[in-house]
Amino acid sequence: MTNRTLAEQQSAVSLRAGVFEKCLRFTRARDLIEAGIYPYFHVVESAQDPEVVCDGRPMIMMSSNNYLGLTSHPKVKEAAVDAVRRYGTGCAGSRFLNGTLSIHEELEQRLAEFLRKDAAIVFPTGFQANLGAISALVGKHEVIVIDRMNHASIYDGCRLSFGQIRKFKHNDMQDLERILREHPSRAKLVVVDGVFSMEGDIAKLPGIVQLCRQYGAGLMVDDAHGIGVLGADGRGTTEHFGLEDDVDLIMGTYSKSLATIGGCLAADFDVIDYLKHHARSLIFSASLPPAPVAAALAALRIIEDEPERRERLWRNADYLRAGFQNLGFDTGVTQTPIVPVVVGDEERALITWRRLFDRGVFASPVLYPAVPKGMALIRTSCMTTHTMEHLDRVLEEFEQVGREIALID
């Protein structure tokens, strides 16, 4: 090691400290904790059921994406336990090498059939599926076009790609066409959420499909919140619009309706084969463990065998949405079991969350950058397993809090 002067050593220490200086400056979380309105990382001490135990007391869970109530279904839990008994707790390697199990391939075949595509590939998470697909498919001199309100994982996939990133106004077909028209001779991929996870509205897929055809763009739909929820058979946004043959690539996740953790991509065989050999988040990640794979398989069977679960989910969603609107709350543009209550100001949204939390309602405040500035909201989401008593209690507490802080008259 070379001898360095004291000044050189001090300069090196200063540079190293500079990397962490932003950590020292970050006080927002501590400020909110001191103010009693810090809404994150609250420990849930029970299963993701309509009623949970949090901070040692019972609460109505209105923040979960467990739309079909399958995380506690006996068949799902039994399947996970049986998989551990047979395969152990992990795969000890990536899918690319030693981590492909027979149940991985079974789930891929079932997902391809369910989503009506030639093939599917299982990823450790839905986030990684988006990272892997977008960064592998979009190269230099190519363009990726995304809705401004897309999920963060899509944004991060774009950043990892070498393509030009263009964003169009949320669900605005004129703005999408403007961007596509600007790149007539370049390869293009349009990526949208099927269901937008904070606002609860649905992508205008018929218009998007038409524009992609007209301007020669590929189309990928992140259907994390649509699969199991939308469509006559729960196949998602593409089935909802009857456009299953018109979407090139579908991303799904198991952390919503499929009751566990994991993600997938479904497309034509050639596309999936390419992604299996080029998606870095698949090749260089440990394989999804046996238990969630088996749980997703079991949940998929229940979705197909028990359509009444989806019917109850929509009854609950319609009831809750109408209840909020009748009380005078602004629920935005929601069309799904995601039912936001728009507050506007961030501090006011945090105060709203705190008062609801104190009254036994577990709902989520959503702030910038998850929503635009000035559009802070309280996100609620329905489950099949919510009863009318649960929803009536939630509406009562929202009404009381809404009147206290003048959200409603």
Active-site annotation holds for 277? no
Strands (E) in 194-274, as ranges, are 217-222, 249-253, 263-267
pLDDT of residue 13: 62
Residue 225 annotated as catalytic: yes
338 DSSP β-pair partners: 381
Q: How many residues belong to the chain?
A: 409
63 classed as catalytic: no
Domains and CATH numbers, the chain: 32-61+307-404 (3.90.1150.10), 74-305 (3.40.640.10)
Of residues 117, 170, 240, 256, which has the active-site annotation? 256
Distance CA 195, CA 229 (A): 10
Question: Tokens representing 383?
Answer: 């489950």
Contact residues for 311 (Cβ-Cβ < 8 A; gap 6+): none
- 181, 231, 186, 179: which is closest to 205 by C-alpha? 231
What is the β-pairing status of strands 249-253 and 217-222?
A: parallel
Extract the tokens encoding 121.
């590939």
With 0-12 CB in 10 A as exposed, 13-18 as middle and 19+ as buried, what is 110? middle
User: Which entry of 117, 151, 204, 225 is annotated as an active-site residue?
Assistant: 225
pLDDT score, position 1: 46
CA distance 251 to 126: 7
Q: Which of 64, 135, 153, 197 is catalytic?
A: 197
> Which residue's entry shows tokens 């190519």?
142
**Token pair 């398989």 is at which residue?**
297
DSSP 371: S
Per-residue pLDDT tens over the stretch 119-128: 999 999 999 9
pLDDT averaged per 10 residues in sequence order, the chain, 409 residues? 67 72 90 94 94 95 97 97 97 95 98 98 97 97 97 97 97 98 97 97 98 98 98 97 97 96 98 98 97 98 97 98 97 97 96 97 95 95 98 98 93
